[in-house]
Amino acid sequence: MAYPDGLLSEDESVVVHKHPHWKMLLGPVLVLFVVVGGASYLAALVATTPWRLPVWIALGVVGLLVIFWFTLAPVSRWRTTHFVITTHRLMVREGVFTRSGIDIPMWRINSVRFRRGVVDRVFGCGTLVIESASDEPLEFDDIPQVEQVHSLLYRGVDDNAERTQES
């Protein structure tokens, strides 16, 4: 899915548009399976008791709240998080109800690093660390194909530096 063209300047185009790696959804999906399985087991245990209906209602309400909080909310956050590299800047947008974002012009990026642990290497993702003119480096976790993104971002920074020196 392309990033909305209305948010880009006239001579700007999207180079990379990614969501965080699907690895971050493993926990929420596991919670879904545990809640559904546990609630089903408990519902079967009380099926022969005379007060089964209030227990089933309570299990349903608690189960739905847990699923909403620990499964649907993280999936929504994952879906609405965008990591976008354009020809002029790096953009990160996140949030469902309250959107937040950061834009870093290519010429303000000083260095680009990445980190990949064993689990990240298995899943093909990693953490991208960007140092800009700000005090603290920015870390973006669970970036899919982090080495390729690192390379593209580094080339973009290098190309931008050469254009600045020529001017």
* Of 158 and 87, the one with more pLDDT: 87
- Three-class secondary structure of residue 57 per DSSP: helix
Domains of the chain, by residue range, sit at: 14-19+84-166, 25-77
Q: Is the pLDDT of residue 158 over 80?
A: no
Domain with residues 14-19+84-166, CATH architecture: Roll (2.30)
The model's pTM is 0.79
- Tokens at 119, concatenated: 């689990």
> Model confidence over 69-117: pLDDT tens digits?
999 999 999 999 999 998 889 999 998 889 899 999 988 888 899 999 9
Contacting residues for 85 by C-beta, under 8 A, at least 6 apart: 14, 15, 16, 17, 91, 149, 152, 153, 156
pLDDT level of residue 60 (50, 70, 90 thresholds): very high
In this prediction, residue 12 carries a pLDDT of: 86
Mean pLDDT of the chain: 89
In this prediction, residue 167 carries a pLDDT of: 54
